[in-house]
Amino acid sequence: MSALPSQVTIRAIACLLAFALAPLTSAGQERPGGIEGIVRARESGEPLAGARVTVIGTGRFAITHGDGSFRLQVPDGEYTLRVERLGYAPIEMTSTVPTDNPLVVIELEESALELEGIVVTGALSERGADEALRPVSVVSANELQRRLQPTVASTLGSEPGLAVTSMGPATARPVIRGMSGDRILVLEDGVRVVDVSNAGPDHATSLDPMSARRIEVVRGPGAILYGSNAIGGVINVIRDEVPTSVPHHATGSMTVQGRSVTSGAGGSASVLVPLSQRIPVRFEASRRSSGDLATPVGDLGNTGIDVWSLGAGTSWVGEAGHVGVAGLVHLNDHGIPGGFVGGHVEGVAIESDRVSVKAEGEHRPTEGLFSTLSGNATYSYFEHLEIEPPDILGTRYERQTIASDLLARHRAIGPFSAGAVGARASWEAFEFGGSLFTPNTDRISMGVFAYEEIDLDPIRLEAGLRYDWTQTSPAEEDPDSDIGHVRTRSFGSISGSFGALYNAPSGVTLGASVSRAFRTPDVNELFSEGPHLAAYAFEVGNPSLEEEVGTGFDVFVRFHNDRVHAELTGFTNLVNGYVFGEETGELSRVQLPIYQFYGEDARFLGFEAALDWVVSGPFKIEGTASSVRGEIRGTGEPLPLIPPLQARFTLAYEPADWFVRAESHAASAQERVGEFETATDGYTRFDLSAGVSRTIGGRLNILTLGLENVTNQEYRNHLSRVKEIMPEAGRGVTLTYRVVF
């Protein structure tokens, strides 16, 4: 591990401590106004601890005490409050400050229906999931408690349209609608996560879902707000690194989990403390350690995990916004199993670390054209080492990034009910070592965009336009390289989208959108040359690749009432110059399979469906299904690594303070495979889970017990690189405990 991460870590922590302990200004001593209230159950009148009361559009929130009480610090004005609590239907209400009513009493009704609530990803402002123009999945804290896995991808694996590709449990990475790698933007509180997970199947995503408050997924192109490469979708892990609210008292959560299938355990804790009436400080820490994955036919060797992270953030919160900083250190040591052609019998050890420092601010003017002005600046360092037995550095990746985003949301202008303009700029440095001959490379990117909404109630129209430019420059040009003319490449393209949403009075919502998204070839796709030993591949880049341009069409129908939430989506994505690494069937001089990067015009066609139906009282039925067909347009030949038809069916009994669930996960056989790719059989796997929530000592405590793969079914994930030597996980027990305070 190089010295640079340690230096950055020291500087980041010093900056955070200096900011947090700075002398308070006179503005910091002001006593802002507030909203005080009590949250209780409507049927019994019992106070509800652990409820989250959010002030929509401000980033401010409070967690209720054991007596159901809360206090929010807000200036004078009118606000929309949203109240959410496990086992109860969320509600929204309006509150005015100052008010003649000194105490707001909020009553929640018991409900087994899981409403996704407010989403922020892929939208101009916070809005209900049913009001989102694109298919969105939200995994709230309640769902995270039940489905928490070691990685973000495996936690989201049962969402419609999502699949998981991996080389063992540590390297699980998300696939959305058949697309993976950097076609999916992984964000942390809306900012891109810097790692090299797109550069090989052996690379892990440098995020731990255990510390997440919620995870939002936008399926399909989302390039207008987030820039190039969001051609397949966006995953936003929301952790609130930079606090935007000052709590009335220390608040936070703690989670611990044990898993028998990996003989592993982990835990995380986060706490938000009011240093003053204007300055909150947030701390978080997490650790996870596990052994080899147990399968129905034996252990998958060298798949242990040792991950930990440490972060801190603080801010100054004023009446009209905030400014703050945060820092994070994430270390991930894991193993890659052996047994592949050209691979080490003992496998390969991976060591990676990520250090990030972020500053952000937001201003909400009370008058004028703009409703919100926000910006951020980030520095990230990532290093990835692949260690061959006995202790030889096989491959090294290093990536440094400096990036900034600016966003200005405006109020109604003429026909436009809302809109935004924004810009992004970034500088990235890639370095390679070990056995790789890939040249060190710099990449500069810039983009500007505008996005507008027109509200013609009950119809809403949205349209956006964006231009991105990227220049990728190797350290040295080489016209005579074995892979072609290695040279500086520049890419620029316009992205755009248009969509319409119709809200029928019967609870039906209809929507359609068309979008044009743009992706720049990755450094590895352009210039890679050499053995990537942990992936057991000899990768050959193509410096003449052109940009990918995708045109996507989405049509969906949603239905929701007090007992049913359902959604059906159909989509087509036509991608010109789709880049993929295809196995050539040949072996390199070091006896590794050769993978060559090609660009072909491709088509993705599929559907997604989801149902949440409260049949009677707390008894309900859930179901999801999704399918995608990926092929080369000119020949109809299947693209490699396309997931098969997948489905999940659940029977659940969920009163307010406990639950039991029985689930089945199924996949069809996948026989439409690329050349040299192996077909897989279909399967059905069964899971059971139960949980209970109780208020103990004035704090909400939640205990969940899960039994996965009840029948110890031997099955193989089509997207797994280890499917030919070992099946997926066998029968296992997972115990998760969480306390909210």
- Split at pLDDT 50, 70, 90, the class of 2 is very low
Residues 680-732 have pLDDT tens digits of 999 999 999 999 999 999 999 999 999 999 999 999 999 998 898 899 999 99
Which CATH number is 516's domain given? Answer: 2.40.170.20
Alpha-carbon distances, residue 544 vs 178, 483, 527, 541, 597 (angstroms): 25, 10, 10, 9, 10
pLDDT for 391 equals: 86
Task: Flag whether 629 is in a domain.
Answer: yes
pLDDT tens digit sequence for 306-344: 999 999 999 999 989 999 999 999 999 999 888 755 556
- 698 is a domain residue: yes
DSSP assignment of 255-274 equals EEEEEGGGTEEEEEEEEEEE
Domain assignment present for residue 669? The answer is yes
Pairing label, strands 264-274, 280-290? antiparallel
Q: Do 282 and 354 fall into the same domain? A: yes
pLDDT > 60? residue 30:
no
Same domain? 92 vs 198: no
Euclidean distance between CA atoms 140 and 259, whole angstroms:
21
Which of 29-33, 57-61, 134-138, 246-250 has the weakest average pLDDT?
A: 29-33
Q: What does the pLDDT read at residue 533?
A: 66
Whether 687 and 709 have beta carbons less than 8 Å apart is answered as: yes
Please state whether the predicted TM-score (pTM) of the whole model is above 0.85: yes
DSSP-derived 3-state class of residue 25: coil
Quote the distance between the C-alpha of residue 140 and its chain's center.
Answer: 12
> End of a domain among 73, 108, 143?
108
Q: Tens digits of per-residue pLDDT, 673-693? A: 987 788 999 999 999 999 999
Whether 80 and 132 share a structural domain: no
Do 513 and 376 lie in one domain? The reply is yes
Instruction: Output the pLDDT for position 584.
Output: 75
Residues 704 and 721 in one domain: yes
Number of domains in the chain: 2
Per-residue pLDDT of 200-247, as tens digits, reads: 777 888 988 998 988 999 998 766 888 777 888 999 999 999 999 999
535 found inside a domain: yes
Q: Is 437 within the bounds of a domain? A: yes
In the predicted model, is pLDDT for residue 29 greater than 50?
A: no
- Lowest-pLDDT choice from 129-138, 261-270, 555-564: 129-138
74 and 168 belong to one structural domain: no
Q: Over 141-188, what HEC string results?
A: HHHHHHHCCCCHHHHCCCCCCEEEEECCHHHCEEEECCECHHHEEEEE
For residues 139 and 221, what is the distance between their CA atoms, to the nearest angstrom? 20
More confident residue, 524 or 229: 524
Does 76 share its domain with 207? Answer: no
Question: 280-304, pLDDT tens digit by residue?
Answer: 999 999 999 999 999 999 999 999 9
Q: Which of 192-206, 360-374, 584-598 has the highest mean pLDDT?
A: 360-374
Q: What is the pLDDT of residue 228?
A: 73
| Residue that terminates a domain, selected from 75, 108, 141 | 108
CA separation for the pair 52, 213 (Å, rounded): 11
Q: Over 60: is that where the pLDDT of 100 sits? A: yes
Residue 145, pLDDT score: 82
Query: The CATH number of the domain where 97 resides is what?
Result: 2.60.40.1120
- Note whether residue 25 is domain-resident: no
Give the DSSP H or E segment for 370.
strand 370-388
Verify that 462 and 522 share a domain, yes or no. Answer: yes
Based on the fold, state whether residues 456 and 491 are members of the same structural domain. Answer: yes
HEC per residue, 523-564: HHHHHCEEEEHHHCEEEECCCCCCCEEEEEEEEEEEEECCCE
Residue 23 forms part of a structural domain:
no
pLDDT above 50: residue 21: no
If asked whether residues 95 and 196 sit together in one domain, one would say no
What domain range is 42 assigned to?
A: 31-108
Given 108, 125, 143, the domain boundary residue is 108
For residues 212 and 78, state if they share a domain.
Answer: no
Q: Is residue 506 part of a domain?
A: yes
- 399 and 465: one domain? yes
